Amino acid sequence: MSRALVLAALLAACKADLHHTTDAIAPGVPGDTLAPSTGDPPPGAVTLTVTRLGQPMPDVAVFFQNADSSLVGASLTNAKGLAWAAMT
């Protein structure tokens, strides 16, 4: 009986009218104000490459943060799927 009551309470707490938003920019759609990383990364820069099924993914939004969560930079990956930032 108590299991049924707990289950009923959990189901009552669930709502069917949840508002869902997107978590990321849709594939193939550039960000509003972000530009791709250009040129070659300087020595010591943090770099990353975004791939999908082994192929580079351009125009993916990337955010670089310090250990304290402060923003260092934001950009889109370039045609090679590469993004970089000079971390201090």
Domain that holds residue 44: 32-88
Q: Phi and psi at residue 63, in whole multiples of 5°? A: -120, 130
Which residue matches tokens 């990353």? 48
DSSP string across 22-70: -SSPPTT---SS--B--SPPPTT-EEEE-EETTEE--S-EEEEE-TTS-
Q: What average pLDDT does the chain have?
A: 80
DSSP letter at 79 equals: T
pLDDT one digit per residue (tens) for the chain, 88 residues: 678 777 777 666 665 555 555 566 555 555 567 888 888 898 999 999 999 999 999 999 999 998 898 888 889 999 999 999 988 7
Residue 19 belongs to some domain of the structure? no
Residue 14 belongs to some domain of the structure? no
Residue 57 belongs to some domain of the structure? yes
Residue 8 belongs to some domain of the structure? no
Residue 55 belongs to some domain of the structure? yes
Residue 2 belongs to some domain of the structure? no
Q: Which pTM does this prediction carry?
A: 0.60
Domain tally, the chain: 1
